[in-house]
Amino acid sequence: MHDHSGFDDVTRLAAARERLLELVAPHGRTETVPVADAAGRPLATAVSARRAVPHYERAAMDGFAVRAADTQRAGRAPATLDVADDRVDARTAVHVHTGSALPEGADAVVMVEDTRQVDGALEVETAVAAGENVAPVGEDVSDGQHLYDAGHRLTPADLGLLRSAGHETVAVAEPTRVSVVPTGEELVPAGAEPGPGQIVETNGLVVSRLVERWGGEATYRDVVTDDVEALGAAIDRDRDHDLIVTTGGTSVGERDLLPGVVGERGSVAVHGIAVKPGHPAGFGTVEGTPVLLLPGYPVSCLVVATQLLRPAIGRAGGFTPDPIPTTAATLERKIHSEPGARSFARVSVADGRAEPVRTSGAGVLSSATLSDGWVVVPEDVEGYEAGTEVAVERWDWWP
């Protein structure tokens, strides 16, 4: 079995995720924002079109609007029509551009390349049928058509459709409020020169920016030292947030105080997850507020945040995050994995081939930043041989 380094019990990743999501309640807060500012926001309610798109018949080609019946004799000899300014009557035509409103009286458009203008008259060389080269009302969207369900995260293209369909504002969920608390007496703040045994705080920075990318609003707190009272005060301070996320102090050593602090104030639901890297992670609740304990090693922190924090932000905000996109590739070298833990092996991808960057070294952040993604090895699989077709999760690609 996998070495879980002092943990009496561990929980498989899928079960841990399910348990965490049971503890996270949708916050239910909504706000109305301009459509132009709504990209990436989840809709608070279902949305339908307030008008058809297009809301008028329009020319689908550059050419001449006509009555189709007036062109039916075109073929061996052209059909000759008079050119009018705005209205199409019998045996007349009006010049139109793509997207122009179809003039009154017209029911078709002759493409400009099928016509000739001779002595002020228009010769039509090819007959058209009624409706030909005409975009009808509602071709794109009909009036009242359902567009999106509640929880749909709006893309830039969605904003264009909403505005076209008559929406200038839209009701969206407020961002999930996440407190990010880095912990550890060895940490020094940005700008400070670290001495021996000290490191610059980075996990809180990375997690805070991920929170914002994943649809949340991060409160990035100052470093809290390894002290029971200080840690407890930090958690008590931020119970008004939807989620509290700590980094570091999650394992079973003398300075790993956070599981005990959470347990004293509330309850620890899971401590120890069958994932590599990241097995010291855990979570619980304090007076109803979920507290997610991320490991201090940077790659462990990143893996667990992706697997647990990302879906928790979605649950609190009332939406389901899109699946992480994958790229198919062939392994250049074998990936080793110990049974009993879900492993995340960092790889680089080029020309359809995946080269392992590192399968161990949870403290080496560059192994994640220099890779293109990771290959997930299930708990019951002892690695993958060279030549295996694998799916590379491009964890840093989605919004």
Give the model confidence (pLDDT) of 9-44 as tens digits.
Answer: 899 999 999 999 999 999 999 999 999 999 999 999
Q: Domains, the chain, ranges and CATH?
A: 11-29+174-317 (3.40.980.10), 30-53+139-173 (3.90.105.10), 58-135 (2.170.190.11), 326-393 (2.40.340.10)
Cα–Cα dist 75/127, whole Å:
7
Q: What is the pLDDT of residue 1?
A: 36
Q: What is the pLDDT of residue 363?
A: 57
Place of tokens 């990302």: 310
Q: What is the pLDDT of residue 398?
A: 58
Q: Per residue in 126-139, pLDDT tens? A: 999 999 999 999 99
Cα–Cα dist 397/303, whole Å:
15
C-beta of residue 165 within 8 angstroms of C-beta of residue 50:
yes
Amino acid letter, residue 164: S
Q: What is the pLDDT of residue 369?
A: 75
Enumerate residues 6+ apart whose C-beta is below 8 A from 320: 151, 311, 314
C-beta of residue 51 within 8 angstroms of C-beta of residue 341:
no
**337 to 7, 89, 272, 377: CA distances (angstroms):** 19, 78, 18, 7
Cα–Cα dist 44/362, whole Å:
38
Cα–Cα dist 291/285, whole Å:
5
Look up the pTM and report it: 0.85
**396 to 103, 192, 215: CA distances (angstroms):** 51, 28, 14
Q: What is the pLDDT of residue 168?
A: 97
Reading the block at residue 41, the tokens are 């926001």
- Residue 274: count of CB within 10 angstroms of its CB: 24
Q: What is the pLDDT of residue 192?
A: 86
**186 to 189, 196, 207, 222, 226: CA distances (angstroms):** 10, 9, 18, 13, 9
Q: If the chain, 399 residues long, is cut into consecutive pieces of 10 residues, what is the mean pLDDT of each piece? A: 60 97 97 97 96 95 96 88 94 96 96 92 95 95 97 96 97 98 92 88 95 96 95 97 95 85 96 94 97 94 96 96 94 91 94 83 68 93 94 81
Q: What is the pLDDT of residue 362?
A: 62
Enumerate residues 6+ apart whose C-beta is below 8 A from 399: 40, 153, 213, 214
Describe the strand order of the beta sheet including 267-271 as a list of residue ranges.
216-220, 176-182, 243-247, 289-294, 282-286, 267-271
Q: What is the pLDDT of residue 75?
A: 77
Query: Given the DSSP bridges, would you call strands 389-393 and 79-84 parallel, antiparallel or unpaired?
Result: unpaired
Axis-axis angle for helices 310-317, 13-23 (nearest 10): 30
